[in-house]
Structure 1
Amino acid sequence: MPSRKKLAAVTLVTAVLGVGVGVAYDPYLLVRAQFERQRLNAGLDHGDVVVAGHRWVYAVADDAPRGAATIVMLHGFTGSKENWYPLADRLRGRYRMLVPDLPGWGESERKADADYGFVAQSERVADFIRAMSPGKPVVLLGHSMGGGIAALVAARHPGLVAKVGLLNAAGVRFNENQFGLDVLAGKNPFGVDDAASLQRYIDIVFHREAAKPWIPWPASRGLIARRKDDAAFEQAVLERIGRGPEQFLPGQDAANIRQPALLLWGRQDAVIDPSALALYAAQMPQARAVLVDDAGHMALMEQPREVADAVVALIERQ
């Protein structure tokens, strides 16, 4: 009969071989493993729910004091719930947090030929809030594309949103930059199909070198493959939110937002030029405007402490 030490060694070797075979078959497993580590470090649990005809996967923190505000966080174009984890880590224990992958993105369900533009997604988010925070308005935060969606939800469903924060939000005609010109020309400036374009994508969305994620091989191979598979979907979404009739709808509807609001931008945003902040502010005079230094489009990841302070001020001020 084999000894316990031999059995343990065989089990360990089998597990390592299993991981190795899995990674060789799907190197994106390494990306998922990193996301899982980040979720656990931020003190978030994992959940899923079927709402608005889609299965949503979300991260959740339910360890807040009784009666604490509920925050719903919406990620941007090509983003995912994981973009919010550095901020969630700084808000843990203080508020209830719901951080979903929007339908079509991340781990949430995507349906062929479905509409994932601003309007359709805003209605799905409204249904998600009704399901996850029944009878209690939420603090709704949106980044980039998620900011445009959040603006529509706050404007069109005011009973669901107590306060709203738009971070580097899409949905207005900002000053011309290369990113905007490329979108209008039919390109996807965020497109990734090799190592060089992956690095270009990271360099566009992040300003601070120290905040740029390091993605070693073979995780990079898995991420590149995933983004290549998503290329047609990304272009279809851009047709809706970047070049179609909905592209400036969030900024127009922002005039109907009456709730207390936060407008926050990275001063070095090379995606949605900071001039967008003033355009939103003109529609939302009640909003507090915050321009974060040494931060680009991913201010929520580059300067999470400063962003957390701004979010707390939004929630706590009367």
Structure 2
Amino acid sequence: MKGVSPRKAFVANVIAGAILIALAIALWRDPGLVIRAEFAKQRMLLGARSHESMIGDHAWAWVEIDADKPDAPTIVMLHGYTGSKENWYRLARALKGRYRIVIPDLPGWGQSERKPDADYGYVAQSRRVADFLAAREVSNGAPVVLLGHSMGGGIAALTAARRPDRVARVGLLDAAGVRFADNRFGEGVLAGRNPFAVEDEASLKRYMDTVFHDRTAMPPIPWPVDRIYIAQRKRDAAFEQRVLDRIGRGDERFLPGQEAAKIEQPALLLWCRQDQVIDPSAMALYAARIPHASQVLLDGCGHMSLMERPGETAEAVVLLIERGAPAGPPADAP
């Protein structure tokens, strides 16, 4: 280094080497540090604050984004199977400022507590969500706008149906919980397999190709994040299978759709035409139970509407909140 004495250069190199060694040791002890660091960066860019609290029978982790006005409605977002709160960040960015936004990791997933023998089916999770919505630090006891995606959609439907005192409006995005038309994913679930299982690079690619139709919307998974993610999913395989057995083949697998007939709050049903997981036929099944719900069918996207089409999804959510989502036939959004 020009203008730097050999001694100073030596000291700088030693410090840099020590930092690299410390980082290597930290990653060896905790490989998930890389993913958590990336999530932390996303959270900071979003302007969200992290929270942790014991609510009901589990410790919950969630993020919160303040609204520009203190009296703005609160939106609570529930992620899907194998998902986490980070799945909602793109949609949250599109709604930021207008509403107070609360995004939890559901119990058993992400950074929230997981118990070895606990039930993580629709009924048990909807009870936990009701407790979460009642917590003063979450909603101050006031009813909220509850959005649910995929498995989270089934939980949201059941919660809205059974606890209208906690849910003022409900939005179901590509929601599970009804007997939709047969597709490869559904047939795999009924056969006892986990079509979302990730064990290696090939199955990771298959998983991503299944949930995303718009490949430009896929989040990048560079090395070594891909290896860390694959290892984590392999460790979670037994848990994932147990939950899928409950929500995909158990007695309560269609309970959200059945109970949806009790939903009287303003409601939104939103699907993507190319969804390979929860076939778009599910929207009509939910609409038959919630005839007053507005229906939005997006084109050019798959199962991850909240990530593939955050702008159009945000517009539908705004209508749900501001206008009460008047009933009508499916509207194709661009």
Could you say whether these structures have the same fold, taking a TM-score greater than 0.5 normalized by the shorter chain as the test? yes
Q: In 2, Cα distance between the equivalents of 1:109 and 1:62?
A: 25
**DSSP-derived class of the 1:68 partner:** coil
Which string of whole-angstrom CA distances, capped at 9 and with x for unpartnered residues, describes residues 256-277 of structure 1? 0000000000110000000000
1-side partners of 2:72 and 2:13: how far apart? 49
> Does the Cα contact within 8 Å between 1:27 and 1:221 map onto a contact in 2?
no
The count of corresponding residues between Structure 1 and Structure 2 is 317
| Alignment of structure 1 residues 1-318 onto 2, 5 Å | 10-131=14-135, 132-318=138-324
Contact 1:26 1:222 (C-alpha < 8 Å) held by counterparts: no
Residue aligned with 2:62, SS: strand
Q: For residues 315 and 248 of structure 1, what CA distance do their matches in structure 2 show?
A: 27
**How big is the shift at 1:9?**
5.9
Deviation at 1:13, TM superposition (A): 3.8
After TM superposition, the structure 1 stretch with the greater mean CA deviation from structure 2, 24-33 or 102-111, is: 24-33
1:10 positional shift: 4.8
The 10-residue stretch of structure 1 (249-258 or 58-67) with the greater mean CA deviation from structure 2 = 58-67
CA contact (8 A) 1:43 1:92 kept: no
Q: Is the 8 A contact 1:43 1:89 kept in 2?
A: no
Which ranges of 4 or more aligned residues in structure 1 deviate by more than 3 Å? 3-13, 24-27
Cα drift, residue 8 of structure 1: 6.4
1:66-114 CA deviation, whole Å, 9 max, x = no partner?
2100000000000000000001111111111110000000010000110
Letter in 2 for 1:103: P
> What is the SS of the residue equivalent to 1:49?
strand
Shift of 1:135: 2.7
Structure having greater relative contact order (Cα 8 Å, sep ≥ 6)? 1
SS of structure 1 residue aligned to 2:292: coil
Partner Cα separation in structure 2 for residue 7 and residue 102 of structure 1: 48
SS in 2 for 1:60: strand
Q: 1:255 to 1:31 in 2, by over 3 A?
A: same
Distance of 1:96 and 1:14 partners within structure 2:
43
Q: 2:332 matched to which residue of 1? A: none
Higher mean C-alpha deviation, range 160-169 or range 127-136: 127-136
Stretch deviating more after TM superposition (230-239 or 12-21): 12-21
Question: Structure 1 length normalisation: TM-score?
Answer: 0.96
CA radius of gyration, larger in:
2
| Contact 1:41 1:89 (8 Å CA) reproduced | no
Q: 1: distance between equivalents of 2:227 and 2:30? A: 9
Q: Distance in 2 between matches of 1:144 and 1:243?
A: 15
User: Structure 1's 184 and 96: CA in aligned 2 closer, same or farther, altered over 3 A?
Assistant: same
- In structure 2, the gaps of 5 or more residues are 1-6, 325-334
Cα deviation, 1:90-141, whole Å, max 9, x if unaligned, reads 1111111110000000010000110000000000000000002133100000
The residue type equivalent to 2:222 in the other structure is P
Q: Cα distance, 1:185 vs. partner?
A: 0.2
